[in-house]
Every structure is written in C-alpha cells, then in structure tokens.
Structure 1
Amino acid sequence: MSLFTGTTEFYRKYRPGIPQEVARVLDHATPQRRPRRLLDVGTGTGLVIEALLGRFDDVIGVDNDADMLAAAESCLRPELPKGTSLTLVEATAEDFAPPPGWRADLVTICRAFHWLDQPKILRQLDGQVGPGGAVAIFGDNSFWAAGSPWKDAVRAVIKDFLGEERRAGRGTFQHHNRPYSEFLEESAFNQVDEVRVPVRREWTVESILGYLYSTTFAARGLFGDRIEAFETAVKSTLAGHGDGDTFPEENEFLIRIGRRERE
C-alpha cells in the first residue's frame, strides 16, 4: 500500500504546482535536441509533467500509487500537445526499467527523493539517462519544516493529535540530514549546479486543510473519529493569525541538477 493512499483528491487539488520559473530552469538544463525525452520519478498526480508540457516529446511518469496515476492520466492526457507521447507506469522507482533503447534527456524527482533508496536510484539512472542528459532533484520547503508563526501553530495542533514525531502514514518519518547534492556528487552525475527560485503563496483555511490531507504526516485517515475536532482546532488556531482568511507564505524551490563529467 502506498504511503499516500487516500490522499489523491487532496493532492491534485491542493498541492502547489510547479512555478513556470522552475520549469524554465529544468528546460534549460538539457540539450534541445529532438526527440526530447523526460522521465519523471515519483510523478504523483503529474504536477511536474504538467509544468513541462510542450518542452519534451516523449514523457514517462513513474509512481507506485495507482490512484495517483489515474489522476495524472485524467489531467494530462487531454492537455498533451500534438505529437507528444505520454506513458504512465505503476512501479516503484527502484523496480522501474525503461523500454529497450530508451534514454532520458532529463530525469526529474520532485518532492520524492527522500522516499527513495537514493544511491541505488542514482546508480540505475546512469543507465537510463542519455549522453548530455541530467538528473534534477528539487522541491520547496516542507510545511513540516518551514517556519512561520501560522505554520508553527498548525504544526503544534498536528502534534497534539498525532504525537510529537512526524508521521509517515501509519509509521514515523525517517530521514537523513545529508544535502541531496552530496548524493549526486557521489554518483555518475557528479557535476552539480544549484538554483534557487523564490515563491510567494497565499493560503486559506480550506487550502491549508486540503494540503495537510494530501500529506503522509497529516492524512485525513490518521485522525479517525477525531477529524472534526482536528479541523475545529486548526480553524481556531488560524483565527489568531493572518489577515482574515489569508495566510501568506514565503518559500523557495531548491533545484539540484547533476550531470556527468566530461561528456
């Protein structure tokens, strides 16, 4: 069972998308040759692919959650530019193998690298990325980690209901403290560039709750019959922050782009 079971409807509606400036950085990370191939690992509901539509001719998205892939299919297929091929594969990243002879120009891993066997994935990608290609590992700051008064207050409510440790579905979140650049530097993609893209967002009570229900640390099912009490507590807490029903967030995307040496 996926850690994200039961979150798909909230993920698609409330997860922030990929800003166009991030899409521009990714677009410029690889050669403009044709056909141009994209492999999106941990594709979820297709947010990365959606942001890059029209920039790649042959796209493969991989995820182990069938519901997420169904949402990606229904969203992306009608928007595909003419001549673009899209294949969505239900598999773990570690088990995925591309079609024979297929090599990516760009691999994207957004908000998902922490769930993977990082060294193993990067070893596999060495055989799945074509000459001159790149691996981009990127994401914005987690709601759990990023600090602001209203976020800190909501996080405290989550801890009151689910415990001090960050949840990951029915278990707890296990994470290393190593920068992702170090993993790239130890792989075949050891020429690493970092790009930061600031982003400002406006949240509402509805979108905050919807976002929380899209996560593994505050999925709706974790609260059981206390869900109404949780929502009441969040709304009461947020009433002491923000301007009416508006809650600003200053965030940024950190993009790490790894390329092979001397290609």
Structure 2
Amino acid sequence: MSLFAGTSSYYRQYRPGIPEEVATVLDRAVAPGRPRRLLDIGTGTGLVAEALLGRFDDIIAIDNDPDMLAAAEEALRSQLPGGASLALVESTAEDFKAPASWQADLVTICRAFHWLDQATVLALLDEQVAPGGAVAVFGDNSFWAADSPWKQSVRAVVQSFLGEERRAGNSTFKHHDRPYSEIMEESPFNQVEEIRVPVHRTWSTKGILGYLYSTSFAAPHLFGDRLGAFEAAVENALAQHSTDDVFPEDNEFLIRIGRRGTA
C-alpha cells in the first residue's frame, strides 16, 4: 500500500500550493533559454508543476502513486500553455529513466526528499541534469512540527489515536538527522545555496482536517472505524483556541539549490 493511499483528493484540495515567491526563486535558479526542461520528483498532485507552468515548456513529473498522478493529470492538462509538453510518469526517483538525450535544466523535489534514497537519487541526477542545471530541494514545515499552541493540540489528538511516534502509512516515520544541504554537498550538486521564503496562512477546522487527511501520518484509513471520533476530537481541541474558526500559521519554505562545482 502506498504511504499516501486514499489521500489524493485531500492532497489536491487541502495541501497548500507553492507561493508565487517560491516559484520565482525556482524560475531564477536556471538560465532563461528555451526549451526549458523541468523534472519534478515526487510530484504528488502536481502542485510544483502547476506553479511553474509557463516558466518551463517541457515538464516531466514523476510519482509512484497512480492516484496522485491521476489527480495531477486532471488538474494540469487543461492549464498547459500552447506548445508546452507535460509527461506524468509513474516511477520512483530511484528507478526513473529519462528519455534518450533528455536532460533537465531544473529538478524540483518538494516535500519529498525524506522519502528518497537521497545519495542514490542525487548521483543518478548527475546524468539527468543538463550542464549549468540545478537541483532544488525544498519544503515548508509540517503540522507535525507543532510550532504553535493550536498545532500542538492537533498533534496531541493525532497521537492519542495513533500513538506517540509519527506514522508513515502502516509503519513509523524514519527521521533524518542530517541537514539536507550537507547531504547535497556530498553529491555532484555540491554548491548549495539556501533561500528562505516566509509564508503566512490562515486555516479553518475543515481545512485542517483536510490537510491531516492528505498526510501519511493521519491518512483516513489509519483510523478505521474511529474516524468520526477523531474528527470530533480535533474539532473540540481547535475550539479551545478560536471562537471564529480562524487559525493563523506563520511558516516558511526553505529552498536548497544545488549546482555542480566548477572544476
């Protein structure tokens, strides 16, 4: 079973998209010539590819979850600019083979690097990234980080139903104790730049539940017949923090852009 089994509809509707400021950073990471080729690894429902439509005209987006790819197809195909190309490929990053002579100007890995065999994937990308190209590893903080009182309450409810350890589907999440930049510095893309983009959001109870159901640590199937009780517990916990169903969040995207070092 996929780590994200049953989450694709929630993911598409409730996962925050890629802010324009982040899309601009990614756009400026590589030269503006044409054709511009993008490889989006772990595309999910296509949020990164969607943010970069019109900035790259030859896009390959990969994911190993067919339901996620179906949601991406439905969302993106009608938005594709004239003359642009989009291929959605069911594959892991470790198994992906680019078309003959195809090399990406930019590779994006958003909210997915922790699921990969990181050193292996970065080594494979050396053949798949064009000269002068870049690899961008980025993401914002998960609710699991619980950096505000209302998030702490939500996490406590999840833990009360599913256990103290963060779930990853039917197993537990394996934490990485090394900074991603350090891992990238040991790869062919060892010249690493870090850029932080702050983001402010507001949430509702419905949006928070939808977000939780988009994750591997609170996917609906994990609760079985206790899903209704879980929803009620989350609603009760959130009611202690707001009387108008508005929950502010200050978050940030940390973008790591890796390029090959000069000889």
Q: Give the alignment's TM-score, normalised by structure 2.
A: 0.99
- 1:150 touches 1:241 (CA, 8 Å); kept in 2? yes
CA distance in 2, matches of 1:142, 1:177: 16
Residue deviations 1:173-203, cap 9 Å, x none?
Answer: 0121111001110001011100000000000
Give the equivalent residue in structure 1 for 2:194: 194
Give the equivalent residue in structure 2 for 1:96: 96
Structure 1 residues 28 and 146: CA distance shift in structure 2, 3 A? farther
Give 1:243 deviation, angstroms. 4.5
Q: State, as a whole percentage, how many aligned pairs show the same letter.
A: 70
Give the equivalent residue in structure 2 for 1:71: 71
Is 1:42–2:42 an aligned residue pair? yes
How many aligned positions are there? Answer: 263
- 1:64 touches 1:90 (CA, 8 Å); kept in 2? yes
Give the equivalent residue in structure 2 for 1:230: 230
- Matched residue type, 1:66: P
Give the equivalent residue in structure 1 for 2:213: 213
CA distance in 1, matches of 2:62, 2:167: 24
Give the equivalent residue in structure 2 for 1:20: 20
- 2:104 touches 2:128 (CA, 8 Å); kept in 1? yes
Which structure 2 residues correspond to residues 111-122 of structure 1 after superposition, within 5 A?
Answer: 111-122=111-122
Q: Secondary structure at the match of 1:89?
A: strand
- 1:105 touches 1:130 (CA, 8 Å); kept in 2? yes
- 1:108 touches 1:136 (CA, 8 Å); kept in 2? yes
Q: Give the alignment's TM-score, normalised by structure 1.
A: 0.99
Residue deviations 1:102-160, cap 9 Å, x none?
Answer: 00000000000000000000000000000000000000011101410000001000000
Q: Secondary structure at the match of 2:98?
A: coil
Is 1:174–2:168 an aligned residue pair? no
- Matched residue type, 1:92: T
CA distance in 1, matches of 2:233, 2:80: 42
CA distance in 2, matches of 1:56, 1:200: 27
Give the equivalent residue in structure 1 for 2:8: 8
- Matched residue type, 1:260: R
CA distance in 1, matches of 2:138, 2:161: 30
Q: Secondary structure at the match of 1:256?
A: strand
CA distance in 1, matches of 2:230, 2:35: 50
CA distance in 1, matches of 2:260, 2:25: 18
> Gaps (5+ residues) in structure 1?
none
- 2:146 touches 2:155 (CA, 8 Å); kept in 1? no
Residue deviations 1:34-68, cap 9 Å, x none?
Answer: 10000000000000000001001100000000000
Q: Secondary structure at the match of 1:45?
A: coil
- 1:103 touches 1:128 (CA, 8 Å); kept in 2? yes
- Matched residue type, 1:207: G
> Gaps (5+ residues) in structure 2?
none
Residue deviations 1:71-113, cap 9 Å, x none?
Answer: 0001000000011000000011100010010000000000000
- 1:242 touches 1:248 (CA, 8 Å); kept in 2? no
Q: Secondary structure at the match of 2:145?
A: coil
Misfit runs of 4+, over 2 Å? none
- 2:10 touches 2:214 (CA, 8 Å); kept in 1? yes
Q: Secondary structure at the match of 1:248?
A: strand
